[in-house]
Structure 1
Amino acid sequence: MKKWLLSGVAVLMLSPTTAYAQNATIDTVETSHKSAYNVMSSSKVTAWDTLIDEVAQQMNNFSTEIKVTYSGSMADFNKNIMLALEKAQKQATYASGHLENVAITSDSKGNVTFEVKYLTNQTQEATVQKKVDQVLKTIIKPSMTSFQKVKAVNDYIVSNATYGANTKASPHSAYALLMEGQAVCQGYALLAYKMLEQAGIETQYVVGYVNGGESHAWNMVKLDGKWYHLDTTWNDPLPNRIGASSYDYFLVTDAQLKKDHSWIASDYPVATSTAYNYMQNVHFAYQINNMLYFSNTADNDKLYKLDLATAKKTKVIDNRALYITGVGDNLYYSDYSNGGYLTKLNLKTLKTGVLVKQSVSDLMIRDNHLIYKVNAKEQKLKID
């Protein structure tokens, strides 16, 4: 669920740990053992741990029919099947976050079939994997710190996503966000999970509530042995505003997040470190090397800079700057101390100049042009 969203589609929020294990029922029937759905689906196992691993592996492959023959102890058979599904979901976090429904059938010979329906499919996930590989090669470098990797993933998602459900694919899927540029919180959090995990960041997919009880999903990440919350959905303002990414929900503590989020704390790690609190109040950020130029919401949106190496914040000019972008030594922004006029700032001389005497928004650089909007109509200006 998106911050400030007052109404919208019902969000299907699925826990990767217990959502189906708690609600699924087992039909015990006498069946013949049918042919495998794929190369993994007719496995024979003698221990529950092996069965769990097998189901998790096939869920990770987005198999829709998982067949396993269990030949171990039959004591508490049905109960153990439910527990096995719950534990398999914990192992297959990304896949189980996409689960829509699971039906289980079994017989007295230990033949178990899991009929699984996902919010995505194998073809879409192959596309997701290919795209994620391409994106990570672009935004992640071997020399990056864990902080820099998390920031790169956050920035990519926020910059390329719009919150909404007007998609051909399920808006709750990572595929919709990555390939159609739009999704709800579940899609944001699942894509973040996949990208962060592949980038080598230990992460968790979190389900909880916001806005007085609306289902919501976000992530937790582990940096230098400590856990933090990361909500990419709420770092992307609503309504969608180009260049309006924020870091108010970036590497925050339990205490900070509990101001407007709730979750079952015992299901997740504790997050108490305030090491990255300097990222608070940073909006419309534009980065040059290790310096982040931003609109400081703690000081009436004045233009500041943040040295990411030292965590020091310094005011650049005493003007309200929104929709910040830049090229080389020049920043471009909407000067809300001067009618929202399109303004250019030279970072070496700190001299400013008005380029357009109209209120502008949604600034970006494209093909050596400064793109902006006046009264929601796109305009462009060639950059000298």
Structure 2
Amino acid sequence: MAGFCLPFLLCKNDIPGIIESNNKKETVWMFKKIIKVVFAVLIVITVGLVGVSFFTPKDKDAVTDERLSQIMAEDHFLSNPYSGFSQLNEDERKAYLRLTDKLDNYESTVELGDNKISVDSLNRVWTAIQQDKPEYFWLDSYTYHYDQETSMVTDVNFNYHYNTDEIKRRQGEIDAAVTQIKSGITPEMDDYTKVKTVHDAIVSHTEYDLNSEDNQNICSVFLNNRSVCAGYSKALQYVLKDIGIFSNYVTGNAVGRGPHAWNLVQMDGEYYYVDATWDDPSFDDITREDPALRADPPLNIEYVYFGLTTEELLKNHTFDNTLSTYPGFTATADNYYVRENMLFDLNSADEQTRFLDTLRGTLDNGSVMEARFTEPGMMDRALAGIEESDILNESGVRYLRYDENQVLIIWRP
């Protein structure tokens, strides 16, 4: 007679001491033995699984859902809708936090463990860190390893510009420079005034220089006082972040010039663009091409690119939308010319009078007037009005015009 089998068990005929019998007692005894064998096997399997689970090492560095929720609730910089961090999906955000946890301690190798992501996601995370973290002035580049079967990144290796001792030395000098800038900020100031104070300090103490050292990080501004757009923008972001004002590092292109960087800044509840590089007369094309103006520019600081709307920015900037996309920002209340009452609409006779009176008063005080007009073509009308008033015939009066932005700068050297 053929024997019957249970899964993973011995057949009845294979169990020693069991023989075919019609005896009821022997049949019962046989089933009892089989049941004992089943329970024994199940116990072995269960103990084995529990043992594997118990002895599998836990990923102590894993960023959990709870940690992510806490960050989103408590860190108003990272949770801002326009931060690089906020552009990432949930898994990318966890990897971001895992990487920055290690970067904060100058660790150069990071195992991703339970927070593995794809290569494309790692590129997005890197871009987000670049947008959000100007304080990582020592961070240069990265390499990674990935699992060829899953295409998931297993570990990341960071390359630093300096060793730990040099990082700490430079950080001390940066702290001193930032403390000096912050000394000009008082608690009663609104956001506009705070941002303008920081903007002015950076522009007035920095010379635009394509050959400057460390010009892709904040050391070029705070330590060397010479930089390019990356240094200006990251330095502005660094100080604003330190005083509690959101700012993002934005990259793209300057029309007709190539890659460029500037800032998105939140002031008094609204968002504006600020391009500190282009507000430095040492960068300005007009002053650069005129040796006399370059030697003695009318202003140490300009405000042509302070507090721009999206529409105004897009006249000569384009966005790199690799990671972040921005809506059309339209607020004008904290534009420099609006706040300083230097925006003129010459369609009004009263405004024409105000313009000429303001100009005379400014020149008589030995100051420089920087004015903006509400529509194209109005600058020519302003200059015609100045000429009719004989102001331009006065000794030494000069002007610079920025037609694209409808800005006119007038001074008497």
Pairwise TM-score range, normalised by the shorter structure: 0.5 to 0.7
TM-superposed deviation, 1:338: 3.6
**Structure 1 residues 179 and 73, CA, compared in 2 at 3 Å: closer, same or farther?**
closer
Aligned to 1:101: 141
Deviation track 1:200-234 (CA, whole Å, cap 9, x = no partner) reads: 11111111111425111111111232110001111
Q: 1:185 aligns with which of 229, 237, 252?
A: 229
Q: Which amino acid aligns with 2:328?
A: V
Counting helix residues as a fraction of each chain, which structure ranks higher? 2
Q: Which has the higher contact order (CA 8 A, sep 6+)?
A: 1
Q: 1:261 aligns with which of 314, 317, 321?
A: 317
The answer to whether structure 1 residue 274 and structure 2 residue 318 are counterparts is: no
Matches within 5 A, 1:146-161: 146-161=191-206
TM-superposed deviation, 1:87: 5.0
Q: Which amino acid aligns with 2:307?
A: L
The answer to whether structure 1 residue 65 and structure 2 residue 111 are counterparts is: no
**Structure 1 residues 114 and 132, CA, compared in 2 at 3 Å: closer, same or farther?**
same
Moved more, 142-151 or 92-101: 92-101
How far apart are the structure 2 equivalents of 1:194 and 1:206?
Answer: 13
The answer to whether structure 1 residue 248 and structure 2 residue 304 are counterparts is: yes
Return the TM-score normalized by structure 2. 0.53
SS at match of 1:200: coil
Residues 251 and 261, structure 2, Cα contact 8 Å, conserved in 1: yes
TM-superposed deviation, 1:64: 6.3
Deviation track 1:245-274 (CA, whole Å, cap 9, x = no partner) reads: 221111110111111111146523532112
The total of aligned residue pairs comes to 267
Q: 1:315 aligns with which of 331, 352, 357?
A: 357
How far apart are the structure 1 equivalents of 2:214 and 2:246?
Answer: 26
Gaps of at least 5 residues in structure 2 are: 1-58, 65-90, 289-293, 369-390, 398-410
Residues 144 and 153, structure 2, Cα contact 8 Å, conserved in 1: no
Moved more, 193-202 or 49-58: 49-58
SS at match of 2:248: strand
How far apart are the structure 2 equivalents of 1:205 and 1:79?
Answer: 21
The answer to whether structure 1 residue 125 and structure 2 residue 165 are counterparts is: no
How far apart are the structure 2 equivalents of 1:171 and 1:79?
Answer: 27
Return the TM-score normalized by structure 1. 0.57
Q: Which amino acid aligns with 1:315?
A: D
Gaps of at least 5 residues in structure 1 are: 1-41, 283-291, 305-311, 326-334, 342-358, 362-384
How far apart are the structure 2 equivalents of 1:268 and 1:96?
Answer: 24
The answer to whether structure 1 residue 176 and structure 2 residue 220 are counterparts is: yes
How far apart are the structure 2 equivalents of 1:324 and 1:258?
Answer: 31
How far apart are the structure 2 equivalents of 1:141 and 1:81?
Answer: 40
**Structure 1 residues 87 and 236, CA, compared in 2 at 3 Å: closer, same or farther?**
closer
Residues 233 and 277, structure 2, Cα contact 8 Å, conserved in 1: yes
**Structure 1 residues 98 and 127, CA, compared in 2 at 3 Å: closer, same or farther?**
same
How far apart are the structure 2 equivalents of 1:258 and 1:98?
Answer: 32
Residues 240 and 247, structure 2, Cα contact 8 Å, conserved in 1: yes
Larger radius of gyration: 2
Deviation track 1:293-337 (CA, whole Å, cap 9, x = no partner) reads: 98x9999xxxx9xxxxxxx97834538849738xxxxxxxxx975
Q: Which amino acid aligns with 2:367?
A: I
Residues 52 and 84, structure 1, Cα contact 8 Å, conserved in 2: yes
Q: 1:205 aligns with which of 231, 249, 265?
A: 249
**Structure 1 residues 126 and 58, CA, compared in 2 at 3 Å: closer, same or farther?**
farther
Aligned to 2:62: 45
Aligned to 1:224: 268
How far apart are the structure 2 equivalents of 1:172 and 1:317?
Answer: 40
Moved more, 148-157 or 97-106: 97-106
Matches within 5 A, 1:16-35: none
How far apart are the structure 1 equivalents of 2:223 and 2:201?
Answer: 13
Residues 62 and 115, structure 2, Cα contact 8 Å, conserved in 1: no
Q: Which amino acid aligns with 1:279?
A: Y
Residues 244 and 323, structure 1, Cα contact 8 Å, conserved in 2: no
The answer to whether structure 1 residue 112 and structure 2 residue 112 are counterparts is: no
Q: Which amino acid aligns with 1:254?
A: T
